[in-house]
Structures are given as C-alpha cells and as structure tokens.
Structure 1
Amino acid sequence: MANNKTLRLDKLVSQVTDLSRAEVKRAARQGRISVNGEVISDPAQKVLESDTVTLDGDALHEPGPRYFMLNKPLGYVCATKDGEHPTVLDLIDEPNKQKLHIAGRLDIDTTGLVLITDDGQWSHRITSPRHHCEKTYYALLAEGIDDSAIEKFAKGIWLNNEKKRTKPAKLEILYRNEVRITISEGRYHQVKRMFAALDNRVLELHRERVGDIVLDEDLPEGEYRALTSEEIAGMGAQES
C-alpha cells in the first residue's frame, strides 16, 4: 500500500479487489486476512494504506495505472454502464475494473481499436482537442469514390449544422468503395458525416490506429491485452 491514510480494513481490501464489503467481512471472520503478518478478524479495524495487507497469503496492492487495447466488436457501446447494450468493459476481466474508463469512444456499430485506462492524464492527451491526436479508420462505403475526394478531405469538409469545416483529413482510396481515413479531431459521428457530405454512406467502420498505437493484428475481436511500455510512452509524446 502507498500512503499513510487510515481506512477501515474492509474498505481498503474492497478497494483493491473485486470483493464486496460483505465478502471482505466474511473473509476476515474466516481468518483469511492479515495485516503486517497478524491475522485480523475484525473487518472494522483501522489500518494504514502503508500497512502490508494480505488475503489468503497474497499481498494486496493498489492497481494502476493500467493501459489496455481492446479489439471492439459490433454491438458493444463505449460506456462504463448501459441499460440496453453490453459495454466494452463487459469484455474486460480485471480487478477493480469500475475504475477503468474509455479513452476515445467508438459508436456501437464501429469496430476496432479502443484504449482503456485508469490514468486520467494519459487519457486526456488522447481525447483533448488541443493535442490533435490522430485516429485512422478503414471504411467500406455504399458508393464508389474518386480521387477528387482526396483534395476535399485535405481542405476540410463542411458538415451539416456545423459552423466551420473539419480539420484537414488524409484520405487514401484502397479500392472503388474502400478507403482509409485519418482525422485529428473527434466531432460527433465525424467520419460518417464527412462521407454523407459527399452524398455517400459508410457501411462499415473500423478503427485501426490511435496516435502511435496500432491495433494488434493478432488480437482477436472481443479480446484485449495490456499495452507495451513503448506504446504507453508513445502516446505521452502526443502533446503539441
């Protein structure tokens, strides 16, 4: 444990595990919790965060900061809770996952790279407009698109009910109706609205990259992994 703050034993253990307060109390009464080597059966006992607390012989540590990439499937929303749809956090199996949040959301019908963390400052560097963090998407369009769209995206697109153009975006035409697009802002449904402004429609949208982090091609849909130290540090360099 890190600081010297005083907490009830059951509250402290609950904060760093997935156990409820009731489950912690039961574990204490069963003699499964020790503080500085001494078995403590009273869940209300005051302990310091600097104390060594063990559960079933394993030392407990405050989790974090944690950084994950998830390959988001269709049908999941980027929210911590939702009454109608499953959330991306339902795909995460980590202790204290309620402390995690999504750094840059995707629509329910968009797939691909989602970054999940409990580091607020790191997340801010991704989501804050002033840091201009680039995101790259693959899009399947309803209609074919020609090279003239490349210049239009580079100049910025007028979106419906917007007072200014989008920031310059890079459009790469992969095939007649398949493109890769890189944007540096995050307006509401931005990619879909950009193509709608050209009288086209996005049928499929898949995020491939956020900043310097590229979706791991070996990561199956619906799975996640911890980011490498290089990936974490690379996002720190996004500041302008």
Structure 2
Amino acid sequence: MTNSLERLQKVIAQSGVTSRRKAERLIEEGQVKVNDKVVTELGTKVSPNDKIEVNGVQLEKELPVYYLLYKPRGVISSVSDDKGRKVVTDFFPEVTERIFPVGRLDYDSSGLLLMTNDGEFANLLMHPKHGVEKIYVAKIKGIPSKEDLKKLLKGVKDKGDVLKVIRYKVISTDRQKNTMILELTLKEGKNRHVRRMMDQLGYPVTKLKRERYGLLTLEGMNAGDVRPLSPKEVKQMRALATNNA
C-alpha cells in the first residue's frame, strides 16, 4: 500500500486475500469492516492507517514487493511442503513480507517465476483473458512431423481441456538421439500445460524451462538467482496485462 488513499477493494486484493472482484462482493455483502464499522460502499477509500477486517480477520499491512526467481528443477512452487522438499520461498531468507508465487512451475521444470505479496497484481497476470505471453523451451523425446507440430496451434484435448500454443519454433533436432528442442509460446497456462499437450501427441517432455514472462527474461541470471523487479517493470507488466484484456 502507498501513503495515499486507495479503494478498499484494491487494498483487499493487494493483500492476497482474494481477487478484486470477490473483494467487491464481500464489501457488498457486509463482510468487510473499516475501523470496526461495516462498509458496503464500493467507492470507499482507505489509508494505510485504517484497520481493515475481512470476515473477521484483520489485514496485515505490507508494502507490495515484487521479485523474479530463476527456479531450479527439484523445487516446489509453493510457500511450504509437508514432505519437507525445497520450496520457492526458501530462496528469500531475508524477505519478511509474505510472498507467494504468481502461478506455478512443475517440480521438474525450471525457469522464470514471479514472487509477490500483491494479490491483485498476481490475479491480473494469471487471469486467462489477459493473455500475458509465456515462452517455454522444451526438450522432447521423438521428432514430430509437420502435421503433429501444426496440432500444437489447433489445440490438443486432454481431460476436458484444449491445450495449445500461439507460436512454436523448432530450435534443434537430434536424429541420432531421437530428440527435438522446441520454443513454445503460450497465452494461457493450464496445469502442466506443455507436458500434457506433448504427452497427448506422443512426444514426452524430458526437460522444460520458462524463459520469458511478458517483458521479463532470465538474462544474466543462473538457476537459484533472485532479483527485485524495478518499479518500471511492475508498471509495464501491469499495463501489458491490462491492455490485453
């Protein structure tokens, strides 16, 4: 939160409790209090000094923070794990804010992962209608025909989902090892999207890395590295998602 007045639903969304739309519904339903008084007006503005409760639980006030993590393989995209495996928040020992990942990367996948405590920002980037591009590099078993590669654009059905890419590029082919490396661009990322899509076509993924998210890349970073996003990058990512809506 900034020192200026902000709309109540925006503050609730930024806290990570819920999306802005659901926050608006909670306000209208009388589930939100400001300074111990029930507020039902959506235009209500609040300051950082106001006490805000949602369903009886007080919001903890934190300044929004934004980080880029180069997630290594063998790390869970979660804030905790009941099996004691390494999680993405383990790479932020000095960060006191309650950050969480924007979306997920599989345990066996690596690459660019955003971390923040700004729920509104996270929901904005993850919502399918905003279509923020994500670029992956996948190493697969087998060498697909041109017809199979075209199916990536048309869409592949799996468990009720239609999985597709908006662009693909063949980076290299190794006929001796019977493998191919593909660059895949997605606008919508369903659970295990790339792996499920390639499995359905009969070309299982052996290695997967997210190299770009919107305007952000892993340039100059190694696996396990972390860097904060600049205010300009945050603004650009927010504008990119908003303009795509």
TM above 0.5: yes
* Alignment map for 1:1-240 (pairs within 5 Å): 63-84=62-83, 85-97=85-97, 99-159=98-158, 161-162=159-160, 164-176=161-173, 177-215=180-218, 217-237=219-239, 238-239=241-242, 240=245
TM-superposed deviation, 1:63: 5.0
TM-superposed deviation, 1:81: 0.8
In 2: Cα distance, 1:140 partner to 1:2 partner: 44
TM-superposed deviation, 1:74: 1.2
**Given that residues 165 and 184 in structure 2 are in contact (C-alpha distance below 8 angstroms), is that contact kept between their aligned partners in structure 1?**
no
Runs of 4 or more consecutive aligned structure 1 residues displaced over 3 Å after TM superposition: none
**Structure 1 alignment gaps of length 5 or more:** 4-48, 51-61
TM-superposed deviation, 1:2: 7.8
* SS state at 2:209 partner: strand
In 1: Cα distance, 2:148 partner to 2:216 partner: 27
Output the amino acid matched with 1:165. V
Q: What is the percent sequence identity of the aligned residues?
A: 30
**Given that residues 164 and 197 in structure 2 are in contact (C-alpha distance below 8 angstroms), is that contact kept between their aligned partners in structure 1?**
no
* SS state at 2:156 partner: coil
**Structure 2 alignment gaps of length 5 or more:** 4-47, 50-60, 174-179
In 2: Cα distance, 1:141 partner to 1:2 partner: 46
Output the amino acid matched with 2:224. G
TM-superposed deviation, 1:134: 1.7
Give TM-score, length-normalised by structure 2: 0.68
In 2: Cα distance, 1:94 partner to 1:123 partner: 21
Which has the greater radius of gyration?
A: 1
TM-superposed deviation, 1:136: 0.8
CA change 1:167–1:145 in 2 (3 A) is closer
Count, aligned residues: 180
Residue 54 of structure 1 is matched in structure 2 by none
In 2: Cα distance, 1:90 partner to 1:65 partner: 19
Output the amino acid matched with 2:226. Y
**Given that residues 150 and 172 in structure 1 are in contact (C-alpha distance below 8 angstroms), is that contact kept between their aligned partners in structure 2?**
no
Q: CA RMSD in A?
A: 2.1
TM-superposed deviation, 1:137: 0.4
In 2: Cα distance, 1:91 partner to 1:65 partner: 18
In 1: Cα distance, 2:234 partner to 2:63 partner: 13
In 1: Cα distance, 2:2 partner to 2:130 partner: 32
* SS state at 2:115 partner: strand
In 2: Cα distance, 1:149 partner to 1:169 partner: 15
CA change 1:120–1:202 in 2 (3 A) is same
In 1: Cα distance, 2:222 partner to 2:68 partner: 11
Output the amino acid matched with 1:169. I
**Given that residues 66 and 115 in structure 2 are in contact (C-alpha distance below 8 angstroms), is that contact kept between their aligned partners in structure 1?**
yes
CA change 1:66–1:147 in 2 (3 A) is same
Give TM-score, length-normalised by structure 1: 0.69
1:152-178: per-residue Cα shift (whole Å, max 9, x none)? 11111222x21x523553111111200
